[in-house]
């Protein structure tokens, strides 16, 4: 079965937050170290992540495992459970590439104590990255996390909670068989202090036993709009996501009568990929809003060097504001600023349309 390929590759909603360079892809290396915090209790999750491509792991005296990729028989994979960060760093140092699987468990009915990775995982990543410049971090989290080690690693892959076939899909991404096209549906802050509510008060015993009220006073400044309105630069913005290729935007035109936006997207890299082109709008002056709103988007699949002209209609419902006094939605006339690009903080094309 070595070297076999299936027609349909399993895919995942993974995205690159920082891109692994081509030279550090698993398929081009001889020796890879994988640090998996608490391997014993998370064996199913993490061993299955590479299980689609490995033979049965053989336990070693140091609690690591040695495996061989079925499709990459010349690549040696060594696991470390991560309880001793120095031991994990030593393994990383003698490897061509290090991968750290980091997790943050959560579920309904609970609040996270913080956005930091639990169980001292930040320190583990710091030490592994210090030992091997080619360190990739795979995040299996349900929301944003802080990354004090970000500028010290070669790449970050956000895999979320990938599901029953996530291990195969993630393996396809890591070896470059699948070019991820995911974009963030949330904002990753640089610090918890940048959140609208940095501290979530604990419920009293009385609150837990009865109904209680939660007051939201952000108004329309929710999510990415909060960061822009408050001039807070995020770690990774809403709509952000990298891949094994790159894209360029050009030739914007806006039709005020048809309320459509037209532009060109070009794949400027060497791999085929799909870009999620995004259109944002800002309300006319006097609307008392300084932030952009997402008003449209489209997935564009492009071969290397290929360009495509994209037309996206503007859904005017996304531009309305709610009048509480009169219990109705209003659409204000005036000049609406239009921005087009790859994310909420990277929209290089600018134009406008007039609404009467």
Q: How far apart are CA 210 and CA 96, in angstroms?
A: 56
- pLDDT given at position 313: 96
CA 288 to the chain's CA centroid? 31
- Which tokens is 62 given? 């140091």
- pLDDT given at position 77: 77
- Strand ranges inside the chain, DSSP E: 15-18, 31-35, 58-59, 65-68, 76-80, 97-104, 135-141, 155-158, 247-255, 260-267, 273-282, 293-302, 307-313, 321-323, 328-330, 334-341, 349-355
Q: Are residues 31 and 146 in the same domain?
A: yes
Q: Of 151, 174, 197, which residue sits at a domain end?
A: 174
Q: Of 116, 149, 174, which residue sits at a domain end?
A: 174
**Of residues 340 and 97, which shows the higher confidence score?**
340
Share of the chain above pLDDT 90, in %: 51
Share of the chain above pLDDT 70, in %: 77
Is residue 230 domain-resident?
no
Q: Are residues 159 and 278 in the same domain?
A: no
Q: Are residues 170 and 259 in the same domain?
A: no
Q: Are residues 28 and 164 in the same domain?
A: yes
Alpha helices in 69-178 (DSSP H): 85-93, 121-131, 166-174
Q: How many domains does the chain have?
A: 2
DSSP element (H, E) containing 147: none
Is residue 318 domain-resident?
yes
Q: Are residues 157 and 264 in the same domain?
A: no
- pLDDT given at position 66: 30
pTM: 0.83
Is residue 31 domain-resident?
yes
- pLDDT given at position 61: 28
Is residue 213 domain-resident?
no
- pLDDT given at position 171: 79
Per the document, the length of the chain is 356
- pLDDT given at position 210: 67
- pLDDT given at position 209: 61
Give 216-266 pLDDT, tens digit per residue. Answer: 888 889 999 999 999 999 999 999 999 999 999 999 999 999 999 999 999
Q: Are residues 151 and 274 in the same domain?
A: no
- Which tokens is 165 given? 């076939």
Main-chain dihedrals φ then ψ at residue 46, nearest 5 degrees? -85, -35
68 in helix, strand or coil? strand
The per-residue pLDDT of the chain, averaged, comes to 81
- pLDDT given at position 187: 96
Is residue 200 domain-resident?
no
Give the CA dihedral 310, 316, 317, 320, nearest 10 degrees: 130
Is residue 181 domain-resident?
no
Q: Give the structural domain span for 114.
A: 15-174
CA-only gyration radius of the chain, Å:
23
| pLDDT-derived band at 111, boundaries 50, 70, 90 | confident
Q: Are residues 250 and 106 in the same domain?
A: no
Q: How far apart are CA 72 and CA 337, in angstroms?
A: 50
Residue recorded with tokens 């490897």: 95
Q: How far apart are CA 315 and CA 297, in angstroms?
A: 11
- pLDDT given at position 116: 94
Residue recorded with tokens 């936006």: 261
Flag whether pLDDT at 64 surpasses 50. Answer: no
∠ CA 222-228-230, nearest 5°, is 85
Q: Are residues 262 and 350 in the same domain?
A: yes
The torsion region of residue 98 among left (phi > 0), alpha (psi -120 to 50) and beta comes to beta
Q: Which residues partner with 312 through β-bridges?
A: 261
Give the CA dihedral 19, 143, 321, 319, nearest 10 degrees: 30
Under a CB-based contact definition with an 8 Å cutoff, are residues 182 and 241 in contact?
Answer: yes
Q: Are residues 32 and 149 in the same domain?
A: yes
Flag whether pLDDT at 215 surpasses 50. Answer: yes
- pLDDT given at position 29: 56
> How buried is residue 214: exposed, middle or buried, by Cβ count under 10 Å (0-12/13-18/19+)?
exposed
| pLDDT-derived band at 207, boundaries 50, 70, 90 | low
Q: Are residues 168 and 267 in the same domain?
A: no
User: Range with the lowest mean pLDDT among 28-42, 119-133, 216-230, 297-311?
Assistant: 28-42
Which distant-in-sequence residues (6+ apart) come within 8 Å of 204 by Cβ? none
Q: CA of 180: how far to CAs of 6, 33, 147, 337, in Å?
A: 18, 23, 21, 31
Q: Are residues 144 and 46 in the same domain?
A: yes
- pLDDT given at position 275: 97
Question: In the predicted model, what is the mean pLDDT of residues 57-68?
Answer: 30
Is residue 179 domain-resident?
no
Is residue 338 domain-resident?
yes
Strands 334-341, 273-282: pairing is antiparallel
Flag whether pLDDT at 76 surpasses 90. Answer: no
Q: Of 174, 205, 227, which residue sits at a domain end?
A: 174
CATH code at 108?
Answer: 3.40.50.1700
CATH code at 302?
Answer: 2.60.40.10
- The sheet with strand 307-313 has its strands ordered as 247-255, 260-267, 307-313
Q: Are residues 24 and 164 in the same domain?
A: yes
Flag whether pLDDT at 47 surpasses 60. Answer: no
One-character DSSP codes across 199-258: --PPPPHHHHTS--------TT--THHHHHHTT---SB-TT--B-SS-EEEEEEEEETTT
């Amino acid at each position: 079965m070595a070297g076999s390929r299936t027609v349909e590759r399993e895919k995942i909603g993974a995205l690159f937050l920082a891109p692994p360079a081509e030279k550090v892809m698993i398929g081009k290396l001889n020796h890879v170290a994988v640090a998996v915090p608490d391997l014993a209790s998370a064996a199913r999750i993490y061993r299955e992540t590479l299980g689609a491509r490995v033979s049965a792991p053989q336990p070693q005296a140091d609690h690591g495992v040695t495996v061989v990729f079925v499709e990459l028989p010349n690549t040696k994979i060594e696991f470390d459970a991560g309880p001793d960060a120095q031991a994990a760093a030593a393994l990383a140092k003698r490897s061509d590439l290090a991968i750290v699987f980091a997790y943050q468990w959560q579920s309904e009915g609970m609040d996270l104590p913080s956005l930091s990775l639990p169980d001292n995982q930040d320190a583990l990543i710091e030490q592994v990255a210090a030992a091997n410049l080619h360190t990739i971090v795979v995040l299996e989290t349900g929301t944003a996390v802080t990354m004090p080690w970000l500028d010290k690693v070669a790449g970050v892959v956000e895999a979320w909670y990938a599901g029953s076939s996530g291990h195969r899909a993630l393996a396809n991404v890591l070896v470059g068989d699948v070019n991820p096209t995911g974009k963030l549906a949330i904002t990753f802050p640089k610090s918890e202090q940048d959140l609208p509510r940095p501290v979530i008060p604990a419920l009293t015993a009385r609150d837990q036993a009865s109904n209680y009220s939660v007051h939201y006073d952000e108004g329309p400044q929710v999510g990415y709009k909060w960061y822009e309105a408050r001039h807070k630069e995020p770690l990774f913005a809403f709509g952000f996501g990298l891949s094994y290729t790159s894209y360029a935007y050009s030739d914007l035109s806006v039709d005020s009568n048809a309320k459509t936006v037209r532009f060109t997207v070009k794949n400027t890299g060497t791999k085929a990929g799909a870009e999620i082109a995004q259109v944002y709008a800002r309300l006319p002056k006097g609307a008392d809003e300084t932030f952009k709103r997402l008003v449209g988007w489209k997935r564009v699949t492009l071969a290397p060097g290929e360009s495509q002209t994209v037309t996206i209609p503007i859904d005017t419902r996304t531009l309305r504001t709610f009048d509480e006094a009169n219990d109705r939605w209003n659409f204000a006339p005036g000049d609406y600023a239009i921005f087009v690009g790859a994310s909420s903080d990277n929209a290089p094309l600018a134009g406008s349309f007039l609404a009467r």
